[in-house]
Amino acid sequence: MNKVKLFILVFFIALATNVSAQFGIGLKGGLDVNSITRSNSGRIDETYHAKNGLGYGLILSYQVNDWFAMRADVNMMSRSHTMKRNLNYVKGIYTDYNNKYLTVPVMADFTFGGTKVRGHFMMGAYASYWMSANVAGNTFDLYDKTIAFDEKMEFNEYHNRLVAGLVAGPGLSFELSDKVIMEFDALLYYDLMSYMKISKVSPDPRYNNTASLTLGVIYKL
């Protein structure tokens, strides 16, 4: 609650010192590197590994003053991972989960530095919806032979498709003209909710953590 009050206080101080509020809209794209955090209560023969993917999104910004802005993005993110089986009798068995999430962060953007090249730090919260998933890898057939598969994953009652979390990270902005800014951002998305519901099928919580490295262009309206 204290953090919320502090955020509101900073926002209204920024409004009070506003001299050149301005809206901006832009596009961005880049690399998403996703990993899984889980407890030790799950299967001991399973390990989870980070996986890369491409992401893109829409940037909406409101520049309150020279050092403070509010920003809301609409991102299609790759939040993928690989699960491997590690015991000797299941060596070579793995599943690649290629997941697409619609993620909407709302962030405070604090800017510092010069005029043409400036640094900034963003922090806020987001909601993320699991849009689709494709699974591919190796498994056993009925005769214990290894077979490959590649198919669309069907969601069921054990999947928690809507999650929320916290996001923060630094960036650099380059003023290309009075109206156009190019940005490089490095944001970390940290889920506070498990993407699998706790059950006998999935006894341990599992959380996505995504590092998003993007290049974007913003046009000042």
25-57 pLDDT per residue, tens: 999 999 999 999 987 655 667 888 999 999 999
Collapsing DSSP to helix, strand or coil, 41 comes out as coil
Nearest to 38, CA basis, from 216, 202, 218: 202
Residue-wise pLDDT tens digits, 60-110? 999 999 899 999 999 999 999 999 887 666 677 889 999 999 999 999 999
pLDDT number for residue 38: 85
Per-residue tokens: 220: 């000042």
137 Ramachandran zone, left/alpha/beta (phi>0; psi -120 to 50)? left
pTM for the full predicted model: 0.85
Rounded CA-CA distance 123/95 in Å is: 33
Query: Where does the pLDDT of residue 16 fall: very low under 50, low under 70, confident under 90, or very high at 90 and above?
Result: very low
Q: Is 160 helix (H, G, I), strand (E, B) or coil?
A: coil
pLDDT of residue 9: 54
- What is the predicted pLDDT for the residue at 142? 58
The pair of structure tokens assigned to 166 is 């916290």
- 93 within 8 A of 147, measured Cβ to Cβ: no
Residue 220 pLDDT > 80, yes or no? yes
Q: Domain segments of the chain: what residues? A: 2-220
Domain covering 2-220 assigned CATH 2.40.160.20 in the classification: yes
Instruction: Decide if 140 contacts 179 (C-beta within 8 A).
Output: no
